[in-house]
Amino acid sequence: MIDYASQDPSKRFGSHAESIDLDHFATFLKTLGDFNIDVMLEIKDKEKSALKAKKIIKNLIASC
């Protein structure tokens, strides 16, 4: 399992963003390659960002 968080650019380093940074998350997933891991989102709007992340994952799988 690995934690993923988007940085809130207006707050101190390490502060989680309100919503997921979709471009950064897509890049993060691409760097994982073929590793089979669970990703826990550390984002404040949990469900909303989880649904966005799910779309990114589906798009990446479809493009393979």
The 10s digit of each residue's pLDDT in 2-60 is 999 998 989 999 898 999 999 999 999 999 888 888 999 999 998 999 999 999 999 98
The pLDDT of residue 64 is above 80: no
Task: Tell me how far apart the alpha carbons of residues 62 and 45 are, in angstroms, rounded to a whole number.
Answer: 26
Task: Judge whether 13 and 41 are in contact, CB under 8 Å.
Answer: no
Structure tokens at 15: 């502060």
Confidence of residue 61 (pLDDT cuts 50, 70, 90): confident
Please give the C-alpha separations between residue 19 and each of 28, 32, 35, 56, 62, in angstroms, as whole numbers: 16, 21, 25, 14, 24
Residue type, 35: F
pTM, 2 dp: 0.82
Q: What pLDDT sits at residue 26?
A: 95
Q: Residue 9 half-sphere exposure, CB side, CA atoms within 13 Å?
A: 2
